């Protein structure tokens, strides 16, 4: 195999199905034969040409990559051809910047972003730094594993950052691509879970995923409903609807934490009184490290946590992206690169 197929995009949002020459991995990198790649809302950063100095240069989107190593670059000793691996949004920390020296690998100042600043997984082949690799446990199918590498890790890490004790009330705002995984993780971590969504259409699903309570935000004041349940130790805000997030702070218990993982384009309106009286906190959470992602995958496998996926072949990547962006997907879209 001297070439591979990939979908490139430019800042104009146009997809092009191309054939690329197969190259060797750079020092410190591995080359991966992609088996599956999740389609995430953050792929819009690549399609829109954001976060890159030259938005007109083509790039391959996709940062929920699962595959098999087929070549390693110079200096790579812990990974070998044949290893099953994943790559998430973070393509590997540098190990040398101040954040890395302090052990804060997520905020590495020189970390490539998979499928955003470097080529990703809408392709038959992908490359990654060895420091960004995640071991895929036996028994986890590539299509099942792919969404867990980003969406799953994001909510898993947010829940761990909440510092809520087992048995405490934890609310999940939004039951979509992130939220349907957050409910499962929260339930399996031993929390009492309240799912918050608009309307009643997702009430039955939320209960099936492990929610103990369902709050219809169109029919009642969600913050008041949380207080009636005893107030939430944590709220995981997964919906990218900033105006609806701020008022939920009033539903937090004293010293409760809201962890925001849904990237909305508008400011979050919040009352300073709700923050001060109760010593409440709002924090953002991006993702986790590669080894934390391994914890996430093992936990998900053992606890039966799975994403609800719509699966399409690589050749239909533009359709998959549009399906995800439309909000119609239930609940993630995954490219099965093995299928033609």
CATH of the domain at 91: 3.90.180.10
Nearest to 137 by CA among 289, 304, 301: 301
Question: pTM to 2 decimals?
Answer: 0.95
Nearest to 180 by CA among 215, 205, 198: 205
Task: Give residue 328's pLDDT band: very low, low, confident or very high (50, 70, 90).
Answer: confident
Distance CA 267, CA 269 (A): 6
Q: What is the pLDDT of residues 93-149, one digit of tens each?
A: 999 999 999 999 999 999 999 999 999 999 999 999 999 999 999 999 999 999 999
Q: How confident is the model at residue 111, as a pLDDT?
A: 97
- Give the list of residues 6+ apart from residue 113 with CB closer than 8 angstroms, or none: 45, 51, 63, 89, 90, 91
Please check whether residue 239 lies inside any domain of the structure. yes
- List residues bridging with 252 in a β-sheet: 232
Within the chain, strands assigned E span: 3-9, 15-21, 29-39, 64-72, 84-87, 125-129, 133-135, 169-173, 192-197, 213-216, 232-237, 252-260, 281-284, 309-313, 332-336
Same domain, 7 and 129: yes
Check whether 53 has a pLDDT greater than 80: no
**Residue 256: CATH number of its domain:** 3.40.50.720
Q: How confident is the model at residue 282, as a pLDDT?
A: 97
Residue 249, φ and ψ in degrees, nearest 5: -55, -35
Same domain, 278 and 235: yes
Check whether 340 has a pLDDT greater than 80: no
Please check whether residue 303 lies inside any domain of the structure. no
Please check whether residue 297 lies inside any domain of the structure. no
Same domain, 34 and 105: yes
Same domain, 94 and 204: no
Q: How confident is the model at residue 144, as a pLDDT?
A: 98
**Tokens 């099936």 — which residue?**
208
Count of the separate structural domains present in the chain: 2
Q: How confident is the model at residue 300, as a pLDDT?
A: 98
Domain assignment of residue 130, given as a range: 3-136+308-336
């Amino acid at each position: 195999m001297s070439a591979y197929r990939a979908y490139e995009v430019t800042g104009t949002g146009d997809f092009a199905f191309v054939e690329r020459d197969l190259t060797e991995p750079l020092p410190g990198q591995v080359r991966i034969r992609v088996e599956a790649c999740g389609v995430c809302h953050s792929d819009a950063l690549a399609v829109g040409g954001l976060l890159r100095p030259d938005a007109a240069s083509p790039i391959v989107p996709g940062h929920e990559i699962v595959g098999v190593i087929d070549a390693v670059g110079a200096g790579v000793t812990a990974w070998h051809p044949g290893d099953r691996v994943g790559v998430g949004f973070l393509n590997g920390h540098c190990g040398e910047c101040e954040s890395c020296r302090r052990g804060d690998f997520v905020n590495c100042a020189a970390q490539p972003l998979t499928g955003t600043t470097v080529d990703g997984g809408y392709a038959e082949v992908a490359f990654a730094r060895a420091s960004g690799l995640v071991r895929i446990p036996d028994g986890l199918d590539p299509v099942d594993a792919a969404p867990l590498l980003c969406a799953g890790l994001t909510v898993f890490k947010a829940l761990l950052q909440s510092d809520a004790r087992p048995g405490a009330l934890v609310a999940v705002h939004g039951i979509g691509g992130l939220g349907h995984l957050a409910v499962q993780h929260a339930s399996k971590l031993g929390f009492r879970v309240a799912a918050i969504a608009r309307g009643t259409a997702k009430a039955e699903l939320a209960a099936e995923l492990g929610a103990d309570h369902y709050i219809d935000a169109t029919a009642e004041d969600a913050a008041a409903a949380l207080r009636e349940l005893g107030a939430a130790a944590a709220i995981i805000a997964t919906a990218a609807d900033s105006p609806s997030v701020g008022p939920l702070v009033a539903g937090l218990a004293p010293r409760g934490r809201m962890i925001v993982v849904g990237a909305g384009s508008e400011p979050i309106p919040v009352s300073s009184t709700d923050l001060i009286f109760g010593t409440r906190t709002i924090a953002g959470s991006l993702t986790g490290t590669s080894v934390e992602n391994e914890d996430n995958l093992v936990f998900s496998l053992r606890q039966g946590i799975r994403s609800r996926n719509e699966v399409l072949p690589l050749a239909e990547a533009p359709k998959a992206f549009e399906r995800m962006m439309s909000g119609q997907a239930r609940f993630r879209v995954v490219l099965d690169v093995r299928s033609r």
